Amino acid sequence: MKATAWADDGVLMAVEDPARPAWGVQFHPESVCTAYGRELMTNFLAQSPQTEARPVIELAAREATVPSLTVFAERLDMEIEPAQAYERLLGDSRRAFWLDSSLPSHPLGAMSVIGDCAGKWGRTVTANVAAGTVTVDSETVHSGFFDWLEGDLASLRIDASNAPFGLGWVGYLGYELKAECGGSAAHCSELPDAMMMMFADRAVVFDHRTSEVFALVLEETYDAAGPALAELRAALRDGPAPAEFSPCVRAQPRHDRERYLELVAECQESIRQGESYEICLTNRIDCAGSIDPLPAYLALREASPAPFASFLRFDEMAVLSSSPERFLSISSAGAAESRPIKGTRPRGETPLADAALRDDLGINVNVKDRAENLMIVDLVRNDLGRSAVIGSVQVPQLFSVETYATVHQLVSVVKAQLRDDVSPVACVRAAFPGGSMTGAPKIRTMRIIDALEAGPRGIYSGAIGYFSPTGAVDLSIAIRTLVVTPDRAHFGTGGAVVALSDPAAEYQETVDKTAAIRAVLSLP
């Protein structure tokens, strides 16, 4: 091999093999911040042997295995807040959801949806990665979850052209579902460790831009939908007052501060050895005590409103999330968007201190946070590029600071257009788990994480949202999320470790990120 390029500090950056068309580079020519990356790749392709194009794989034709259904929408002439609507309509429901844009002032806080699967078309699905099974209501089949979901959505014929929301599968994808996406089945969650979703066939939608409220029902005909629409109207007009929330829990972290600092050091050693560039290390805090999920969620959304907040209820389990981060959205026309977050500062105690903390995330100020965000942006570009029309992957927003109730965050935006031969489910599968919760390179880094973290992540750092038969998808990253079961609860927290990380600062960041949950639970 022949050395051909060096960095200013003498580090070798490029080599070539004089005997054949083979080159290697230490940096990333494809990075959104690399100068002359396009020219380098153009030169490489010009000197590389041409290969035959891969054949396009056509999607399976949709099969009419269920009747043709329509989402019937009715505008409601009433003034009601989403919290009131949930309490009145679904407060006693054992399986229900609330996709809650609890920060309407945010550009992405345009719509909130509450609903359930109590109608005749409703179903519930769970998946078990270790067993390789999917259970729909009481019927279990041997299948990977993504394969099953792809087939189910392809079989549905639903017209939602006159509705503000397409209904469909609503719930969560747990982190351990990574075993279907190139990762390893290293840990098993005590909860459904792949995902749990309900097929929503009725909902109430709040358009925060126009202040309109709509009732939605999935049915074959309007006559069949009429009684369900009337039932929704009646239930929304009166209901019980919300219960008070009085937390009484005791918390125990999976890794105490001393152990977490050791794990950060182990991450940095893996980075020095060239095993990874960035490792998203996480911790889990288990709480013993009884928590009433709905009052707790109402307290959380007040303490930490977020554009991708959510409340899910599955029998004895509830998921309470105040996530500010979009994992992936896909429109029915195939327009995809991800909004990775990397870089966090707490809010300051005074306006002056708050402004200084916000400025410290600026693009020309903090090199570490900029590097964290850049590596994940490039990872997401690669993930979406596997599903996108060539040349359509764009980064319209890079290193922007967004401010929330308890933290400042460094946010970037990656957009792409899906190819015609790629389904929304296939795009999600290619991008899951979100790179902001793994690090880069993704597959190798997930294996490092498996060895360092002493248990499953479960719902935390997976995704929460919906898949509609219309082709629309919107999923948040499951962060700032509390999972409640009888007499117990837990939440996750973490941060990206890079070569420049300070272990003590990394631990403090995990505390800052969970300030709202800790406050709601009265934890120190």
The CA distance from 411 to 405, in Å, is 16
Structure tokens at 106: 């945010």
**For 152, which DSSP code?**
H
Q: Of 176, 325, 402, 509, which residue is the catalytic one?
A: 325
Can 120 be counted among the known catalytic residues?
no
Q: What totals of helices (H) and strands (E) does the chain contain, helices first? A: 12, 28
Q: Which residue type sits at 243?
A: A
Which residues, at least 6 apart from 174, have a Cβ–Cβ distance to it below 8 Å? 189, 191, 192, 193, 194, 195, 457, 458, 459, 462
The CA distance from 474 to 337, in Å, is 9
The CA distance from 369 to 356, in Å, is 15
The CA distance from 136 to 447, in Å, is 31
Q: Of 74, 219, 278, 342, which residue is the catalytic one?
A: 342
Q: Mark 38-72 as b/e (b = at least 16 C-beta within 10 Å).
A: eebeeeeeeeeeeeeeeeeeeeeeeeeeeeebbbb
The H or E element spanning position 116 is: strand 111-116
Strand partners for 380: none
The CA distance from 208 to 211, in Å, is 5
| CA 270 to chain CA centroid, nearest Å | 26
For residue 15, how many other CB atoms are within 10 A of its CB? Answer: 15
Contact (CB, 8 A) for 189 and 490: no
Strand partners for 286: 252, 490
Can 178 be counted among the known catalytic residues?
no
Strand partners for 288: 250, 488
The CA distance from 415 to 398, in Å, is 12
The CA distance from 198 to 96, in Å, is 8
Task: Give catalytic residue positions.
Answer: 325, 342
